[in-house]
Chains A and B, each alone.
Chain A
Amino acid sequence: MDGRSVIADEVVVCEYCDAFTRRVALRRGERALCPNCGSPLYRRRWLGLDGTLAVTLTAFVALIIANSYPIMTMSVGGQHSSATFWQAVMTLDHDGFMEIAVVVAVTGLLAPLAQLGLLSYICVPARLGRRAMGAIQAVHALGWVRPWSMVEVVLLSALVATVKLAGMADAAPGLGLFGFVALMLCMAVLLSNDPEQLWDWVET
């Protein structure tokens, strides 16, 4: 019983409790949970290479829109004010808060951009039957970047800001905000796929 006869593909180890179970095929909408602690184990590999590339491309477009147009616009009296995401970042920097500016820039824009970039770097050669140089490092990097991508928080913050301004001004979402919504939806689709799928594509 030293594990020598265990086939890696057949056994999954839970990262929360270390118990191992046999891997089973999942049907649509099913998720695998650890029988010992109930934590998520793995997901279905439902999004193929083509699908991933299509969604990634859409996400890129969404990201461009999100940053080219204002997230919110506001008017008080006769005065108008609007800000794109990057303008908000620059404002923070200008006010002398470079640290927050960096944090906001990374979590709202740079991390999602890095995710999309790395994903493209892995998937485009894979689609062409080749393997990119440093593809393994790219998949590693994707794992590190992931917790720092917080597009949903940007969206919710725009909502909260609108509410906070409601009393004193006319605040409205800008086109950029819809770009962020689209970006968030694309990222949700990409993340709903089993992350281990990438390793199969890299191994090609």
Chain B
Amino acid sequence: MSAAIAGRVSGRPPRAAEMGLARCPECGRTCRVAEARCPRCHSALAQRKPDSLTRTWAWLIAAAVMYIPANLLPVMHTATLLSSSSNTLLGGILLLWNEGAWDLALIVFVASIAVPLTKLICLAFLLVGVQRQRCGNPRARTRLYRAVDFVGHWSMLDVFVVALLAALVRLGRLAEVRPEGGAVAFAAVVILTMIASMSFDARLIWDVRAGRTRRGAA
């Protein structure tokens, strides 16, 4: 047992799959692969997330597709006594910029446009790295993946703000805010990206480094 834990002579860290071990995907217990089911939570054991690459690409592409209407369709409709306007994400940002609130404009740009796009690009980058069997600096890639996963749900901020404003600004003729189609598309992008991130198995990065070709099969 001490030899197994101390590591192999080559200096590479010992990996569970090579030792016939697996981490239970549900409860995290270290199990022997031979057992087929986790002794603690009775879930079926799998070395890797099943079909990780295929599923992650599928969700990612769906998210990318929804990104288009999220930016082209207006997100919010504001009506006051004097005027009424429907703003897309970019339109709202430009409005803030022209009004001189360039700090707010920058924050909204980063949160609503830059971050979702960056997440899509990062996930695509990680996927391509695994598929092309070239994963340099796996530690950094793992950190990147964790960052994408962590940031994910914060993008829902925009949807919540629109919801809150729409609920509050209901002063009849005086002022009114209503959500529009762009907000639904945006929510879809956030959710689909979150699911894509959850489907990706970061261990595949390290599999490439270890010289194993596991294309997402269990």
Asked if A and B are interacting partners, one says yes
- Contacting residues, chain A, for B36 (C-beta < 8 A): none
- Which secondary structure dominates where chain A touches chain B? mixed
Are A95 and B178 interface neighbours, CB within 8 A?
yes
- Contacting residues, chain A, for B153 (C-beta < 8 A): 107, 147, 150, 153
Q: Give B164-190 as 1s and 0s: 1 = Cβ < 8 Å from A's Cβ atoms.
A: 111111110011001100011001000
Within the complex, which residue of B40, B139, B171 is in contact with A79, where a contact is CB–CB below 8 Å? B171
- Contacting residues, chain B, for A29 (C-beta < 8 A): none
Residue B131 is within 8 A (CB to CB) of chain A in the complex: no
Within the complex, which residue of A19, A100, A107, A168 is in contact with B13, where a contact is CB–CB below 8 Å? A19
Are B19 and A100 interface neighbours, CB within 8 A?
no
Q: Within the assembled complex, what's the spacing in Å between the Cα atoms of A157 and B158? A: 7
Residue A196 is within 8 A (CB to CB) of chain B in the complex: yes
Are B202 and A147 interface neighbours, CB within 8 A?
no
Interface residues in A137-154 by Cβ distance below 8 A to B read: 139-140, 143, 147, 150, 153-154
The segment from A2-10, A61-69, A125-133, A181-189 found at the interface with B is: A2-10
Q: Within the assembled complex, what's the spacing in Å between the Cα atoms of A187 and B41? A: 24
B195 (CB) vs chain A CBs: closest residue: A147
Are A81 and B4 interface neighbours, CB within 8 A?
no
- Rounded to whole Å, the gap between the CB of B5 and the closest CB of chain A is 5
Within the complex, which residue of A5, A82, A153 is in contact with B168, where a contact is CB–CB below 8 Å? A82
Are B160 and A35 interface neighbours, CB within 8 A?
no
Q: Give B195-218 as 1s and 0s: 1 = Cβ < 8 Å from A's Cβ atoms.
A: 000100011011100000000000
Q: Within the assembled complex, what's the spacing in Å between the Cα atoms of A101 and B162? A: 11
Are B27 and A103 interface neighbours, CB within 8 A?
no
- Contacting residues, chain B, for A77 (C-beta < 8 A): 174
Residue B37 is within 8 A (CB to CB) of chain A in the complex: no
The segment from B57-65, B116-124, B140-148 found at the interface with A is: B140-148
Residue B72 is within 8 A (CB to CB) of chain A in the complex: no
Are A87 and B167 interface neighbours, CB within 8 A?
yes
Q: Can you list 30 A-B pairs, Cβ within 8 angstroms, ordered by A?
A: A2-B20, A7-B1, A13-B16, A16-B203, A17-B202, A18-B16, A18-B206, A20-B19, A20-B30, A36-B13, A38-B143, A76-B175, A81-B169, A81-B170, A83-B167, A83-B168, A91-B166, A92-B167, A92-B179, A99-B184, A100-B159, A100-B179, A136-B42, A147-B153, A153-B154, A157-B161, A160-B157, A164-B161, A199-B29, A199-B40
Point out residues on B near A: beta carbons under 8 Å: 1, 3-5, 13-17, 19-23, 26-32, 39-43, 104, 138-139, 142-143, 145-146, 152-154, 156-157, 159-171, 174-175, 178-179, 183-184, 187, 191, 194, 198, 202-203, 205-207
